[in-house]
Amino acid sequence: MVRAFEAPATEYAPGHRGVDLAAPPGAAVLAAADAVVLHAGPVADRSVISLLHEGGLRTTYEPVEPTVRRGQVVRRGERVGTLQSGHEGCPAEACLHWGALRVSPVRAYVDPLRLVAAGPVRLLPRVDRLTLPTARSAWCAASGPRGCAAGTRGIR
Protein backbone atom coordinates (compact mmCIF):
# COMPACT_ATOMS: atom_id res chain seq x y z
CA MET A 1 0.00 0.00 0.00
CA VAL A 2 1.45 3.34 -0.99
CA ARG A 3 -1.27 5.56 0.48
CA ALA A 4 -3.74 4.80 3.25
CA PHE A 5 -7.39 5.75 3.70
CA GLU A 6 -7.99 9.15 5.30
CA ALA A 7 -11.65 9.67 6.21
CA PRO A 8 -12.99 13.10 5.28
CA ALA A 9 -14.66 15.05 8.12
CA THR A 10 -17.70 15.57 5.88
CA GLU A 11 -18.68 14.22 2.48
CA TYR A 12 -17.00 17.10 0.62
CA ALA A 13 -14.08 17.78 3.00
CA PRO A 14 -10.46 16.89 2.17
CA GLY A 15 -9.34 13.32 2.68
CA HIS A 16 -8.27 10.23 0.78
CA ARG A 17 -11.42 8.23 0.10
CA GLY A 18 -9.69 4.92 -0.51
CA VAL A 19 -6.31 3.24 -0.59
CA ASP A 20 -3.64 3.24 -3.29
CA LEU A 21 -2.11 -0.16 -3.96
CA ALA A 22 1.05 -0.51 -6.08
CA ALA A 23 0.88 -3.14 -8.82
CA PRO A 24 2.32 -3.58 -12.30
CA PRO A 25 0.46 -2.05 -15.25
CA GLY A 26 -1.71 -4.72 -16.84
CA ALA A 27 -2.45 -6.46 -13.53
CA ALA A 28 -5.89 -8.03 -13.22
CA VAL A 29 -8.34 -6.08 -11.05
CA LEU A 30 -10.84 -8.31 -9.25
CA ALA A 31 -14.24 -7.63 -7.67
CA ALA A 32 -14.01 -7.42 -3.87
CA ALA A 33 -17.41 -9.12 -3.49
CA ASP A 34 -20.49 -10.11 -5.49
CA ALA A 35 -21.92 -6.99 -7.14
CA VAL A 36 -23.66 -5.29 -10.04
CA VAL A 37 -21.58 -2.98 -12.25
CA LEU A 38 -22.86 0.60 -11.85
CA HIS A 39 -20.28 2.23 -14.12
CA ALA A 40 -17.43 1.03 -16.32
CA GLY A 41 -15.76 3.75 -18.34
CA PRO A 42 -14.31 7.24 -18.31
CA VAL A 43 -14.74 9.77 -15.52
CA ALA A 44 -12.91 13.01 -16.27
CA ASP A 45 -9.42 11.94 -17.41
CA ARG A 46 -9.36 8.32 -16.16
CA SER A 47 -11.19 5.05 -16.50
CA VAL A 48 -13.25 4.00 -13.46
CA ILE A 49 -15.28 0.96 -12.44
CA SER A 50 -17.99 1.27 -9.75
CA LEU A 51 -19.65 -1.80 -8.26
CA LEU A 52 -22.76 -1.92 -6.06
CA HIS A 53 -22.68 -4.67 -3.44
CA GLU A 54 -25.42 -6.10 -1.26
CA GLY A 55 -26.08 -4.04 1.85
CA GLY A 56 -25.56 -0.63 0.26
CA LEU A 57 -21.81 -0.63 -0.33
CA ARG A 58 -20.25 0.84 -3.48
CA THR A 59 -16.62 0.13 -4.38
CA THR A 60 -14.61 1.96 -7.02
CA TYR A 61 -11.46 0.96 -8.88
CA GLU A 62 -9.27 3.35 -10.90
CA PRO A 63 -7.46 3.74 -13.28
CA VAL A 64 -8.78 0.49 -14.72
CA GLU A 65 -9.59 -0.51 -18.29
CA PRO A 66 -12.93 -2.33 -17.81
CA THR A 67 -13.61 -5.85 -18.97
CA VAL A 68 -17.21 -5.57 -17.71
CA ARG A 69 -20.20 -3.46 -18.71
CA ARG A 70 -22.88 -1.51 -16.84
CA GLY A 71 -25.57 -3.77 -15.37
CA GLN A 72 -23.42 -6.91 -15.46
CA VAL A 73 -23.46 -9.15 -12.38
CA VAL A 74 -19.98 -10.04 -11.13
CA ARG A 75 -18.85 -12.48 -8.46
CA ARG A 76 -16.22 -12.02 -5.77
CA GLY A 77 -12.78 -12.54 -7.30
CA GLU A 78 -14.00 -12.14 -10.88
CA ARG A 79 -11.84 -9.98 -13.13
CA VAL A 80 -13.48 -6.61 -13.76
CA GLY A 81 -10.62 -4.87 -15.52
CA THR A 82 -6.94 -4.27 -16.16
CA LEU A 83 -4.83 -1.80 -14.17
CA GLN A 84 -3.52 1.15 -16.17
CA SER A 85 -0.56 3.36 -15.33
CA GLY A 86 -0.91 7.07 -14.77
CA HIS A 87 -2.55 7.35 -11.35
CA GLU A 88 -1.64 10.83 -10.14
CA GLY A 89 0.52 10.82 -7.03
CA CYS A 90 1.51 7.17 -7.37
CA PRO A 91 5.23 6.65 -6.67
CA ALA A 92 5.19 3.26 -8.43
CA GLU A 93 4.79 2.45 -12.12
CA ALA A 94 1.06 1.92 -11.48
CA CYS A 95 -1.32 2.12 -8.52
CA LEU A 96 -4.87 0.95 -8.06
CA HIS A 97 -7.03 3.44 -6.19
CA TRP A 98 -9.66 1.34 -4.40
CA GLY A 99 -12.46 3.20 -2.65
CA ALA A 100 -15.54 2.19 -0.68
CA LEU A 101 -18.69 4.18 0.08
CA ARG A 102 -21.61 3.04 2.24
CA VAL A 103 -24.65 4.45 0.48
CA SER A 104 -27.17 3.18 3.04
CA PRO A 105 -28.37 3.54 5.70
CA VAL A 106 -26.02 6.54 6.13
CA ARG A 107 -23.76 7.76 3.32
CA ALA A 108 -20.12 7.52 4.48
CA TYR A 109 -16.73 6.65 3.03
CA VAL A 110 -15.08 3.63 4.65
CA ASP A 111 -11.62 2.09 4.55
CA PRO A 112 -11.83 -0.64 1.88
CA LEU A 113 -9.12 -2.66 3.64
CA ARG A 114 -11.64 -3.28 6.43
CA LEU A 115 -13.64 -5.27 3.86
CA VAL A 116 -10.88 -7.86 3.54
CA ALA A 117 -9.51 -7.91 7.09
CA ALA A 118 -11.02 -9.38 10.22
CA GLY A 119 -10.58 -6.09 12.06
CA PRO A 120 -7.90 -4.01 13.70
CA VAL A 121 -4.51 -5.58 14.23
CA ARG A 122 -3.58 -6.35 17.84
CA LEU A 123 -0.01 -7.00 18.92
CA LEU A 124 0.45 -9.99 21.22
CA PRO A 125 3.53 -10.95 23.22
CA ARG A 126 5.82 -13.57 21.74
CA VAL A 127 5.43 -16.79 23.72
CA ASP A 128 9.10 -17.70 23.32
CA ARG A 129 10.03 -14.52 25.20
CA LEU A 130 7.83 -15.35 28.18
CA THR A 131 10.13 -16.45 30.98
CA LEU A 132 9.36 -19.75 32.63
CA PRO A 133 9.28 -18.42 36.21
CA THR A 134 6.77 -15.74 35.18
CA ALA A 135 4.55 -18.27 33.40
CA ARG A 136 4.76 -20.70 36.34
CA SER A 137 3.93 -17.93 38.82
CA ALA A 138 0.90 -16.89 36.78
CA TRP A 139 -0.29 -20.49 36.55
CA CYS A 140 0.11 -21.04 40.30
CA ALA A 141 -1.68 -17.79 41.12
CA ALA A 142 -4.61 -18.83 38.93
CA SER A 143 -4.78 -22.25 40.61
CA GLY A 144 -6.60 -20.94 43.67
CA PRO A 145 -5.69 -20.03 47.22
CA ARG A 146 -3.32 -22.97 47.70
CA GLY A 147 -1.64 -22.44 44.30
CA CYS A 148 0.99 -24.90 43.09
CA ALA A 149 1.72 -26.05 46.65
CA ALA A 150 -1.59 -27.94 46.63
CA GLY A 151 -0.21 -30.48 44.20
CA THR A 152 -1.25 -28.85 40.92
CA ARG A 153 1.37 -29.33 38.27
CA GLY A 154 1.53 -25.83 36.80
CA ILE A 155 3.84 -25.01 33.89
CA ARG A 156 7.31 -26.54 34.06
Domains (range + CATH), the chain: 19-115 (2.70.70.10), 126-156 (no CATH)
Determine the Cα–Cα distance for residues 20 and 86; give it in Å rounded to an integer: 12
Q: How far, CA to CA in Å, does 94 sit from each of 22, 36, 59, 149?
A: 6, 26, 19, 65
CB 19 within 8 A of CB 59: no
| List of residues 6+ apart from 77 with CB closer than 8 A | 30, 31
Percent of the chain with pLDDT over 90: 47
Q: Where are the alpha helices (DSSP H) in the chain?
A: 132-142
Instruction: Compare 82 and 142 and report the one with higher pLDDT.
Output: 82
Q: 38, 70 in Cβ contact below 8 A?
A: yes
Residue 137 amino acid letter:
S
Which burial class, exposed, middle or buried, applies to 148 when counting CB atoms under 10 A from its CB (0-12, 13-18, 19+)? middle
Q: What is the pLDDT of residue 75?
A: 97
The pTM assigned to this predicted structure is 0.71
**CA 112 – CA 13 distance, rounded (Å):** 19
- Look over the chain and give the mean of its residue pLDDT values, rounded to a whole number: 81
pLDDT tens-place string over residues 96-140: 999 999 987 788 899 999 888 655 556 666 555 444 444 445 444
Instruction: For residue range 56-88, list pLDDT tens digits in order.
Output: 999 999 999 999 999 999 999 999 999 998 777
Cα separation, 85 vs 63, whole angstroms: 7
Cβ neighbors of 127 (< 8 A, separation 6 or more) are: none
